[in-house]
Amino acid sequence: MSLTGSTRRFSPLVPQENAGQFFSSGHTNNWAVLVCTSRFWFNYRHVANTLSVYRSVKRLGIPDSHIVLMLADDMACNHRNPKPATVFSHKNMELNVYGDDVEVDYRGYEVTVENFLRVLTGRLPPSTPRSKRLLSDDRSNILIYLTGHGGNGFLKFQDSEEISNVELADAFEQMWQKRRYNELLFIIDTCQGASMYERFYSPNLMALASSQVGEDSLSHQPDLAIGVHLMDRYTFYLLEFLEDIHPSSKANMNDLFKVCPKSQCVSTPGHRTDLFLRDPGSALITDFFGSVRKVEITMETINLTEPIHSFR
């Protein structure tokens, strides 16, 4: 039922056209699930990767209530961190991605394959708090970002278990059947990352990976004062790209595919768009990384007949 139907007076055409533009992509809310799967101090860069994407996503408008952040280890408060309570993504400590308003939903040993799949499919026990749930519906666009150590067809969680590409594809199919997403963008930054999206078969999925099968994703830069590598290359250039995006930016997915060519990344990033129903050129970056606050324009006036008395 159109909003501007029925017997109302028609206002000038321009707001209607604007209204039409708002709903071209078909989604009404945005969610993000950001997962770092490795622990131990020498995997500092994976936590920094995830926190950089978290920072961009928050800056572009998705609120904490719509972000599920899973970090497998606590780098900021690790005993070996020479700058406690910080996680840096650039050497010379230019950018502290830990900030002072980070909200981690799944922490430490709670980041497991089972919890991740339960978050995606919504099969959580009734006692789970809202901050740990992915409460998406059929008009949600979801961004899923995974990083850690991976191989051909699997991603390692916490040094003790793995998730395979088949499991992931089945989880997305469950989400589709339960109508838990409108469109889904899947980004993975691990070695041989492209193997993780090979098995997808549900509609409206778009996937990006930092390296092809048989290639390793490399880390970007070490920081000698901290003593570890700070970021992986793909996410480093992704972060650089996202820093130029603002909430009303019109950059689209084709620009995202160009991030980190082989000359910068050493590995060859890959992407998959055959399951996506729209043309990638028409999908904006902010469709997944930002949160659209839709405004519904109403032409009606409502008379509040009785004043509300305040109680003494």
Partner 1 sequence: MGLLSDPNRRRALISLLTRLNAPICVVCYMAGVAWFMGLAFEPFTLRTYMSENAMGSTMVEERFPAGERALGTGREFSAHKKKAGGMPVDWLVKTMQSRGLEVFTQRFSRRLPFPDEDKERYMVKGTNVYGILRAPRAPRTEALVLSAPCSPGDDNNQAVGVLLGLAQYFRNQVFWAKDIIFLVNEHDLIGMQAWLEGYHHTNTTGMDWSPLQGRGGSIQAALSLELSSDVVTSLDLVLEGLNGQLPNLDLANLFYAFCQKIGVLCTTQGKLQRNDWDSVSGYSHAVQTMMLMVMKQASGRPWGDHGLFLRYHIEAATIKGINSFRQYKTDATTIGRLLEGMYRKLNNLLERLHQSYFFYLMPSLSHFVSIGYYMPAFGLLALILLLRALDLWIQLATPPPGVLSVLTPLVISHLTGVALYTLPIHFQEIAVEHFPVSETEAVVLTAIAVYTAGLALPHNTHRLLTGRGTENGWKVLKLVAVLYLAVLLGCTALINFSLGFILALTLVPVAAFVTPDLCSATPACTLLFSVFLFQELQEMPVSFLDGWMLYLSVISQGILDHALYGSLVYPLVALLVYPCWLLFWNILFWK
Residues that bind partner 1 (CB under 8 A): 40-42, 77-82, 84, 222, 224-225, 227-229
State in angstroms the smallest separation of the CB of 252 from partner 1.
39
Q: Which residues are catalytic?
A: 149, 191
Instruction: CB nearer to partner 1: give 73 or 183.
Output: 73
Backbone phi, psi, residue 96, to 5° = -95, 105
Task: Report which residue type is found at 147.
Answer: T
State in angstroms the smallest separation of the CB of 222 from partner 1.
5
State in angstroms the smallest separation of the CB of 227 from partner 1.
4
DSSP string, the chain: --TT-SS-----HHHHHHHHHHTSS---EEEEEEEE---SGGGHHHHHHHHHHHHHHHHTT--GGGEEEEESS-STT-TT-SSTT--BSSGGG--BSS-S----SEEGGG--HHHHHHHHHT---TT--GGG-----TTEEEEEEEESEEETTEEEETTTEEEEHHHHHHHHHHHHHTT--SEEEEEEESTTGGGGGTT--SSSEEEEESS-TT----B--EETTTTEE--BHHHHHHHHHHHT--TT---BHHHHHTSS-HHHHSS--EEE-TT-SS-GGGSBTHHHHS---------------SPPPPP-
State in angstroms the smallest separation of the CB of 91 from partner 1.
11
Instruction: CB nearer to partner 1: give 15 or 222.
Output: 222
Instruction: CB nearer to partner 1: give 15 or 84.
Output: 84
Q: Which two tokens stand for residue 118?
A: 């339960």
Instruction: CB nearer to partner 1: give 16 or 78.
Output: 78
- Counting Cα atoms < 13 Å in the Cβ hemisphere of 42 gives 2
Instruction: CB nearer to partner 1: give 105 or 223.
Output: 223
d(CA 59, CA 265): 25
Instruction: CB nearer to partner 1: give 227 or 261.
Output: 227
Kindly report the number of other CB atoms within 10 A of residue 278's CB atom: 16
